[in-house]
Structure formats: C-alpha cells, structure tokens
C-alpha cells in the first residue's frame, strides 16, 4: 500500500498552515502545523478561498508567478520550480493575468498545486464542487 502524504491524510492537499477557522475543519486537530479537514472537498475549498483572497485583496496576486511567490515563498521553497511545474501542467503562462471567475483556469491551478504539494490529483467533479463552494 502506498503511503499517503501528510496533505492527503489531513484532507489538506495544499498544505494550508494553521491560522484560520475554516468551514469543515476537524476538531480537535492533531497536526500542530497544518490544518486538518473533515473531507477533501473542505481542504480544496480552503485552497480556493486563499487564492480568491490573494487575487482580490492588496497586494493583489493576479498571475501564477504572483500567486505562487506568495503561496510558496523562496525562503521555504524552490519557488521557480513550483511556478514552472504549475505553468507546464496548466498551460497557463506565469505572467498571464488571471481572474478568479475563470473556473476552468482556477480548477486547473488548484489541481496542479495539489500535485506539487501532496502528489495528489483531485477528481474534476470534486475540485469543481470545491470551487463552487468557495465562490
């Protein structure tokens, strides 16, 4: 049996750190650093909510490069490799201006970020449901 990544075990495939009271979070939490959710859809929804916040509040992050530089800063990650991975998986250029209302692009971005963060590929229906819940 393949060992699940921490993000998958926590239903948090984007490895969102503790700090907010999220809908669908587990209580009590047993992971000291990362959020734990009652189901995968809730972890995905939280990821979409973070992206939406990044894109709508200052400083605005409206490109893949902006989003990933904030999500996975160079002090903790190989940020350029992360940007390149998500760009390659989605076909979205790193400097292309994005709009959260473009559901197809947002779902593709979150899917690629889940692959990068947790080696997990959410199904299209599950990821789309989470996007709709976050709108």
Check residue 58 and give its pLDDT.
82
Q: Categorize the per-residue pLDDT at 7 as very low, low, confident or very high, splitting at 50, 70 and 90.
A: very high
Check residue 75 and give its pLDDT.
94
The answer to whether residue 1 scores a pLDDT higher than 70 is no
Average pLDDT over residues 38-59: 96
Check residue 59 and give its pLDDT.
85
Summarised one tens digit per residue, pLDDT across range 62-118 is 999 999 999 999 999 999 999 999 999 999 999 999 999 999 999 999 999 999 999
Question: What residues contact 81, with CB distance under 8 A and at least 6 apart?
Answer: none
Q: Which residue has the tokens 């998500």?
A: 86
The pLDDT mean for the chain works out to 96
Q: Which residue has the tokens 């599950």?
A: 126
Check residue 2 and give its pLDDT.
66
Q: Which of 74, 57, 54 is nearest to 66 (CA)?
A: 54
């Amino acid at each position: 049996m393949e060992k699940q990544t921490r993000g998958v075990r926590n239903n948090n495939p984007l490895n969102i750190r503790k700090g907010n009271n999220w809908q669908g979070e587990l209580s009590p939490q047993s992971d000291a650093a990362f959020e734990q959710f009652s189901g995968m859809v809730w972890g995905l929804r939280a990821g979409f909510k973070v992206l939406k916040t990044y894109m709508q509040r200052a400083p605005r992050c409206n490109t893949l490069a902006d989003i990933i530089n904030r999500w996975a800063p160079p002090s903790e990650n190989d940020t350029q490799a992360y940007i390149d991975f998500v760009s390659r998986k989605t076909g979205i250029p790193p400097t292309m201006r994005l709009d959260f209302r473009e559901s197809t692009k947002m779902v593709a971005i979150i899917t690629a970020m889940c692959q990068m963060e947790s080696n997990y590929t959410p199904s299209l229906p599950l990821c789309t449901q989470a996007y709709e819940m976050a709108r």
